[in-house]
Amino acid sequence: MEHYNMNLTLKIWRQANSNAKGGFETYQVKDISSEMSFLEMFDVLNEQLIAENKEPIAFDHDCREGICGMCSMYINGQPHGPWKQNTTCQLHMRAFKNGDTIVVEPWRSRAFPVIKDLVVDRTAFDRIIQAGGYISVDTGNAQDANALPVPKKDADNAFLAAACIGCGACVAACKNGSAMLFVGAKVSQLALLPQGKPERETRVLNMVAQMDKEGFGNCTNTYACEAECPKGISVANIARLNLEYVQAGMNSE
Amino acid sequence: MSLDAKIPQGNMSEKWSAYKGNVKLVNPANKRKLEVIVIGTGLAGASAAASLGELGYKVKAFCFQDSPRRAHSIAAQGGINAAKNYQNDGDSVYRLFYDTVKGGDYRAREANVYRLAEVSAAIIDQCVAQGVPFAREYGGLLSNRSFGGTQVQRTFYAAGQTGQQLLLGAYSALERQVALGNVTQYSRHEMLEIVKIDGKARGIIARNLVTGELERHFGHAVLLCSGGYGNVFYLSTNAMGSNVTAAWKAHKNGAYFGNPCFTQIHPTCIPVSGDHQSKLTLMSESLRNDGRIWVPKAKNDNRKGKDIPEDERDYYLERRYPAFGNLVPRDVASRAAKERCDAGYGVGTTKMAVYLDFADAIKRYGKIEAGKNGLVNADNETIIRLGKEVVKEKYGNLFDMYEKITGENPYETPMRIYPAVHYTMGGLWVDYELQTTVPGLYALGEANFSDHGANRLGASALMQGLADGYFVIPYTIGNYLSNEIATASIAVSHPAFEAAEKAVQDRLNQLISIRGNESVESYHKKLGKIMWDKCGMARNEQGLREAISEIRALRESFWSNVKIPGKVNEMNNELDKAGRVADFLELGELMCLDALDRKESCGGHFREESQTPDGEAQRDDENYSYVAAWELTGNNQWTLHKEKLQFEIVKPTQRSYK
């Protein structure tokens, strides 16, 4: 792989706090290596800002290996940037070329208010999980793990849904700010497994109610969420969410 | 103070049941009045907070991330060990115990390790009941794989995302307790001080990382589940925010620090690509099940890996360790890679890498698949295609990650790997009950020193974190809290809270008012380089002495010349980092001091002065069979206390994987 260096123009959203009016600022960075990650390029920019006695840019990040779900930049009009099934921290600078202009915004959604610059508040996701995204089994109540065989297909599909990292790219990508891919993934994981069956109906009803309460929009089947999901979570999970919701609703009548 | 590990009497296999049978209990009505603070929400913290909430205690759970689900346990890839013996391959509690004690190079406490092995099976049961989607066979039963340092298949996994799935299981249990009102969750909060009243831990000072405000929280007990301190090396596989601060504040308030120099360098990580590097990424040890590690037989061979013929390759692990081959423990594999690279056989542009090659595995799996499909005379192309499909199913997410970072396709060319800092076996000294030397202050998971000795075996960290949180602390904390039922909640207006908050405020003000010329990041990088060069994979007396004086000088420079922009009372990531780096600058010295004191090699601690003729770690059981527990006695002054290790069951021998 050939490596190269590049000079870039960055237009980045700056906002002092959740009440302040934000706006774009333009920055230049030089000699960025194609081997850097996108966030390492931000490290370079922040070091530059500190040296110039300017305030560095606040952004969320932690594991930098694509699994914690904390990084959350909207890059050139796409959550997590141009690569498919990828997080911002795993985006590398070889995706760009010398002279490019890159626009970086925070997640934009009514349910994810901006805290500062590129940092948003995603605690709504925690509250949705609190509404029912679990199996009620206190520690010490479990039977032997192999006492209940689970068909491999169900286990595999549950795993694919459970791979969600809770980053919120699905919400950011959706023109309605819908969280149905996130909710659908958790509902599907637990509905597919026999362990999740006893609470299946109350779970879906309560999680959807909380989702609505948080101000997330509805799904109009544009599938932008699936296209932008860093873990490739399928919209089939939204279909399953709808099915579970309708069935639970009928049974609760 | 003399160290009492409080190991129960009786036979090894009966200690834990005897303890559980006799431990003091707290009745449900009293549990409601007792408050417990949990710092960190990784596997240990989330499982402890959830389990204690279920029992009826009033719990407060803190994490610095924006959600408890982001804790770095989430990044663990390979798996979790348990003595289930589902494979009928001879596994047992005893075997898991034995492998762990031996793997730790006989520097762990036997009784703790035995308990860990005993509760391991229940962890898998609990996780499955929570809906953790472990890998399964076609019959619907759980699948296992093998990890380094063992000869059985006892590792449960969920593709290369086992830590994620286990943490999401514990997180869901935690969120359930939040919904039930038993746990209050404080995200984007960082613990900056322990509050002690009459010698007991009674609360914390935390900083709200959004507003910058300091908060006082009371607890009848405080649990530190704040992870390891690998980021003292700057570059490590830890998350960017992983830090020692909570543990270090505890240490400065009287908790002894155990075996600080025991760090694990993981053999299979993606090599450093340049000075811009901010972190290193692990490639799961599970890859060593199928990947073969090699370097060219000739020095400075500049051909591409694929172009080097079979007979000109040195599969050095298979050559040196025929019994375990590519599955030797991590410390052994790391040192062997370093040895080859230092000797001039490294590969890639930096020459600080070795190959991890899947070509053979692809062919082997391809032939098996062809056989299954009845393709008798399958051509090479078909075999390779079928083999790649199998490898993709097993390791697909890891291969994708490798390709994203390096831009190279590991299905076509061998991966380049090199060891990197991954885990810290050292941590706060705890007794059998996981209590530190401060009454009421506990340490769980990677934050304590206890179960892995001088080297942790693969798939054992997840096991220990969950064992401590789900199955140990719910019992042992009762033994302490049963004596606290008469203690009413102490108002946070108490002078001890006042003084602690003032100390934190003063330190933050001091940091921000330095207004020097060098960024926090540059100090962290310099510290990391000292630690890696002189207290890394190989250590010697001269280097360690140099490191100590270099760290002292760096620390002095930091406190007079660090540049932190912004204000204290606002979201300020640079200030957050500065506090953590300031603590690393003190810890680094203690690590070197501990490494200097331990004039033997054991596990991940390799003193160049102490090696066998063929370059293996040479222990000195006569003089160093102890846990080094360091007490802070003054400003960067420590006193060493020794907990003598007794081996009743596993007799220490020269560890051999040949």
Of B67, B159, B278, the CB nearest to A39: B278
Beta-carbon contacts of residue B421 (< 8 Å; ≥ 6 apart): B230, B233, B235, B236, B237, B238, B263, B264, B265, B266, B280, B532, B536
- Token couple for B287: 């890859």
Cβ–Cβ gap A67/B164 under 8 Å: yes
Per residue in B445-492, pLDDT (tens digit) is: 999 998 999 999 999 999 999 999 999 999 999 999 999 999 999 999
B334-358: average pLDDT: 94
Cβ contacts of B214 within 8 Å, gap of 6 or more = B192, B205, B206, B207, B208, B501, B504, B505
To the nearest whole Å, the CA of B596 is away from the closest chain A CA by: 32
Per-residue model confidence as pLDDT tens digits over B51-109: 999 999 999 999 999 999 999 999 999 899 999 999 999 999 999 999 999 999 999 99
Interface touch A146/B172, C-beta < 8 Å: no
Q: What is the mean pLDDT of residues B376-392?
A: 93
Contact A149 B176 (CB under 8 A): no
* Cβ-based contacts of B164 with chain A (< 8 Å): 67, 163, 165
Dump pLDDT digits (tens) for B480-527: 999 999 999 999 999 999 999 999 999 999 999 999 999 999 999 999
Q: How far is B57 from chain A (nearest CA, A)?
A: 14
Residue A36, min C-alpha distance to chain B (Å): 7
Residues in chain B closer than 8 A to A65 (CB atoms): 75, 237, 279, 281-282, 401
Q: B350 pLDDT band (50/70/90 cuts)?
A: confident
Residue ranges of domains in chain B: 277-421, 501-617
Pick the CATH number of B277-421 from 3.90.700.10, 3.40.50.150, 3.40.50.2300, 3.30.70.270: 3.90.700.10
Out of B50, B173, B563, name the one closest to residue A50 (CB): B563
DSSP string, B596-623: HH--S-BTTB-BTTSB-TTS-B---HHH
Higher per-residue pLDDT: B150 or B335: B335
> What local confidence, expressed as pLDDT, does residue A1 receive?
60
**Annotated domain spans of chain A:** 5-105, 123-136+150-252
Distance (Å, whole) CA B637 – CA B631:
8
**pLDDT one-digit tens code per residue, B448-459:** 998 999 999 999
B81 has which bridge partners?
B155
Distance to chain A for B516, nearest Cα, Å: 11
Confidence of residue B396 (pLDDT cuts 50, 70, 90): confident
Mutate to test the interface with B, among A67, A80, A156, A188 (most CBs of B within 10 A): A67
Helix/strand/coil (H/E/C) assignment for every residue in B160-183? CCHHHHHHHHHHHHHHHHHHCCCE
Q: What's phi and psi for B520, nearest 5 deg? A: -55, -45
Residue B332 scores a pLDDT above 80: yes
Q: What is the DSSP letter of A217?
A: B
CA–CA gap between residue B62 and residue B78 (Å, rounded): 27
pLDDT at B151 over 90: no
pLDDT for the residue B655: 80
Q: Which residues of A11-45 are buried (b: 16+ CB within 10 A; e: fewer)?
A: ebbebeeeeeebeeeebebeebbbbbbbbbbbbbb
Checking DSSP bridges between strand B200-208 and strand B313-314, what pairing results, if any? Answer: unpaired
Closest CB from B67, B86, B173 relative to A134: B173
Tell me the three state secondary structure of residue B335. helix
For chain A, 253 residues long, give each residue's pLDDT as a single digit of tens.
Answer: 679 999 999 999 999 999 999 999 999 999 999 999 999 999 999 999 999 999 999 999 999 999 999 999 999 999 999 999 999 999 999 999 999 999 999 999 999 999 999 999 999 999 999 999 999 999 999 999 999 999 999 999 999 999 999 999 999 999 999 999 999 999 999 999 999 999 999 999 999 999 999 999 999 999 999 999 999 999 999 999 999 999 999 998 6
Chain B residues lying within 8 Å of A138, measured CB to CB: 51, 54
Nearest-neighbour CA in chain B from A217: distance (Å)? 22
Residue B352 · residue B358 · CB < 8 Å: no
Is B138 in Cβ contact with A152 (below 8 Å)? yes
Chain A residues close to B184, C-beta within 8 Å: none
Record: contact A68-B75, CB cut-off 8 A: yes
pLDDT on residue B521: 97
For residue B16, pLDDT over 90 is answered with yes
- Of all helices (H) and strands (E), which one includes residue B473? helix B473-481
Write down the number of H helices and E strands in chain A.
8, 7
For residue B597, give both structure tokens. 């004191």
Q: Which CATH class is domain B501-617?
A: mainly alpha
Distance from CA of B51 to the nearest CA of A (A): 6
What fold, for A123-136+150-252? Answer: Fumarate Reductase Iron-sulfur Protein; Chain B, domain 2 (1.10.1060)
A5-105 CATH pick, 1.10.10.10, 3.40.50.10490, 3.10.20.30, 3.40.30.10: 3.10.20.30
Cross-chain CB nearest to B70 (options A68, A141, A193): A68
- The per-residue pLDDT for A253 is 67
Determine whether the interchain pair B74/A63 forms a contact, defined as Cβ–Cβ distance below 8 Å: yes
Residue B574: its chain A contacts at CB < 8 A?
Answer: 50, 56
Q: Report the distance separating Cα B14 and Cα B19, nearest Å.
A: 8
With a cut of 0.90, is the ipTM above it?
yes
CA distance A39 to A47: 12
Count of residues in chain A: 253
Q: Over the range A140-165, which residues count as b (16 or more CB within 10 Å of their CB) and which as e? A: eebeebbeeebebebbbbbbbbbbbb
Task: Tell me what pLDDT residue A174 has.
Answer: 98
Out of A58, A134, A166, closest to residue B573 by CB = A58
Rounded CA separation B166/B41 (Å): 12
- As a whole number, mean pLDDT of residues B287-311 equals 94
Q: Which of A39, A65, A69 lies nearest to residue B401, judging by beta carbons?
A: A65
The alpha carbon of residue B441 is apart from the nearest alpha carbon of chain A, in Å, by 23
CA angle B178/B181/B185 to nearest 5° reads: 40
pLDDT number for residue B349: 86
Residue A246, min C-alpha distance to chain B (Å):
23
Of B125, B140, B282, the CB nearest to A151: B140
Q: Tens digits of per-residue pLDDT, B216-258?
A: 999 999 999 999 999 999 999 999 999 999 999 999 999 999 9
Q: Do B66 and A136 touch (CB under 8 A)?
A: no
Residue B60 — φ and ψ, nearest 5°?
Answer: -120, 125
Measured between CB atoms, which of A33, A55, A60 is closest to B276?
A33
Mean pLDDT on B273-287:
91
Note whether A129 contacts B171, CB cutoff 8 Å.
yes
Q: Which residue of B has its CA nearest to A144?
A: B125
| B166 has a pLDDT exceeding 70 | yes
pTM exceeds 0.90, yes or no: yes
Query: Do the Cβ atoms of B176 and A143 come within 8 Å?
Result: no
Which chain A residues are Cβ-neighbours of B276 within 8 angstroms? 33, 35-36, 40, 43-44
Per CB-CB distance under 8 Å, the chain A contacts of B84 are 145-146
Is residue B1's pLDDT more than 90?
Answer: no
B445 DSSP assignment: G
> What is the β-pairing status of strands A101-105 and A5-14?
parallel
Is the Cβ pair A142, B133 closer than 8 Å?
no
Instruction: Name which of B125, B136, B241 is nearest A155 (Cβ-Cβ).
Output: B136
CA distance A249 to chain B (A): 22
Distances in Å between the Cα of B213 and the Cα atoms of B28, B174, B527, B568 are 35, 25, 29, 8
